[in-house]
Structure 1
Amino acid sequence: MTAVCETFGVARSNIAERVKHRSAKTRGRPPLADHDLVDDIKAIIADMPTYGYRRVHAILRRKASSEKRSWPNAKRIYRVMKVHGLLLQRHTGATGTRRHDGRVAVEQSNLRWCSDGFEIGCDNKEKVRVAFALDCCDREAIAHVATTEGIKSEDVQAEAFVKTFKRDYVSVNHIPDAETVIAQLPLWFEHYNTLHPHKALGYQSPREFLNRQTEI
């Protein structure tokens, strides 16, 4: 450094001080992401606490698109959620899914449907049994019935929906008794159809995907 300073006719102490300040600026954690984006993310996961960064990004994209403005990409959402401790914990446990043979999904709506049933255990030990039908293309839940009586139905084609419904709706809502659960089911199904971002649909909701199909 001494030779360089003598060549350019500058004081060595001045250069050393500048290098010191520059090094200090590069240390430490990067600045936090803007507060508006963090607030938007927190609002989404407050309503849907089981949503990961990809579904959060899909909700933000949908909102920004409706307001005719740009939206942050998925990588930025991931970074922001990671910095603020908002990412979901990775699930490492084994899953007991059944084996699926053959292709279930189809390329167009209203060609193939599947049905299944599942059970919701209430806090007071009552059980609500739900049966439903799905479109195998757009994943829209076409109809459902709920009862405290027995429903026998098993279809591996709708297994993913059951997992999603129990995780994103049943597990995060109050389910004190059968009457309360049955009253909430129409709202949950409507939210799923209208707002829930689906991975197989490019993180569009079933209704968004269906509307895009009709526009083509």
Structure 2
Amino acid sequence: MRVTFALDCCDREAMSWAATTGGHSGDVVRDVMLAAVENRFGNALKTPTEIEWLTDNGSGYTADKTRAFASAIGLKPLTTPVCSPQSNGMAESFVKTMKRDYVAFMPKPDAETAVRNLAIAFEHYNEQHPHSALNYRSPREFRRAMALST
């Protein structure tokens, strides 16, 4: 199973995700992009200002159709240098956390159960998982605190 996700680099929230038994197709990537924009900007079909969208160099991310779609919804598509996963460290750290703290402990007898458990894991991560960079708050706790302070 492969998971495509959109992670906010400011508050660490996993804004959207999709799991497939195939690869990271352009259709899946575009669905995740749109869901991230809608989730973050209240069902808007475009960001209010251009936002950088950093990915690796997988074909689903670098396809012309995906890059054009990203631009159309207000995202500036950027890719990490080839063979340089450390340049996308926040995403790599997120994957490590999900595998270590969630996937390792969840039952996965079949794809349907795995996806159901992934949904629970993503929700727990966003609501409960503390981050040192967020003063040991979860992504959503951090967002709520920021909203109250403005």
What TM-score comes out, normalization by structure 2 length? 0.56
Matched residue SS, 2:102: helix
Q: Give 1:136 shift.
A: 0.7
User: How far does the alpha carbon of each residue in 1:159-214 deviate from its partner, in whole angstroms, 9 at most, with x for none?
Assistant: 11000000000011111222210121111100000011112111100000001101
Report the secondary structure of 2:143's partner residue. Answer: helix
Unaligned runs of 5+ in 2: 26-54, 57-79, 81-87
The answer for unaligned runs of 5 or more in structure 1 is: 1-127
Partner of 2:142: 209
Task: Kindly provide the CA deviation profile for residues 37-73 of structure 1, in whole angstroms up to 9, marking residues without a partner as x.
Answer: xxxxxxxxxxxxxxxxxxxxxxxxxxxxxxxxxxxxx
Give 1:185-196 correspondences, 5 Å limit: 185-196=118-129
In the alignment, which residue of structure 2 is the partner of 1:174?
107
**Structure with higher helix content:** 2
Partner amino acid, structure 2, of 1:146: A
1:158 aligns to 2:91 (yes or no): yes
Secondary structure at 1:136 match in 2: coil
How far apart are the structure 2 equivalents of 1:203 and 1:176? 33
Aligned-pair distance for 1:132?
0.2
| Identity of matched residues, % | 55
State the distance in 2 between where 1:175 and 1:186 align: 13
Q: Supply the AA of the counterpart residue of 1:137.
A: C
CA contact (8 A) 2:108 2:114 kept: yes
Task: Determine the C-alpha separation between the residues in 2 that align with 1:199 and 1:161.
Answer: 13
Identify the residue that residue 144 of structure 1 maps to in structure 2.
17
Helix, strand or coil at the partner of 1:171? helix
Whether contact under 8 Å (2:103, 2:118) holds in the other structure is: no
Structure number with larger C-alpha Rg: 1
| Helix, strand or coil at the partner of 2:6 | strand
- How many Å separate the matches in 2 of 1:187 and 1:172? 12
Output the aligned Cα RMSD. Answer: 1.5
Q: Deviations over 1:131-160 (max 9, x none)?
A: 000111100000001111111663624111
Q: Check conservation: 2:6, 2:15, Cα contact below 8 A.
A: yes
Q: Distance in 1 between matches of 2:139 and 2:116?
A: 22
Equivalent position amino acid for 1:132 in 2: F
| Partners of 1:186 and 1:173 in 2: CA distance | 11
Give the aligned residue type for 1:179. Answer: E
Q: Check the 8 A contact 2:125/2:138 in 1, yes or no.
A: yes
Asked whether the equivalents of residues 3 and 18 of structure 2 are also in contact (C-alpha less than 8 Å), the reply is yes
> Which one scores higher on RCO, CA 8 angstroms, separation ≥ 6?
2
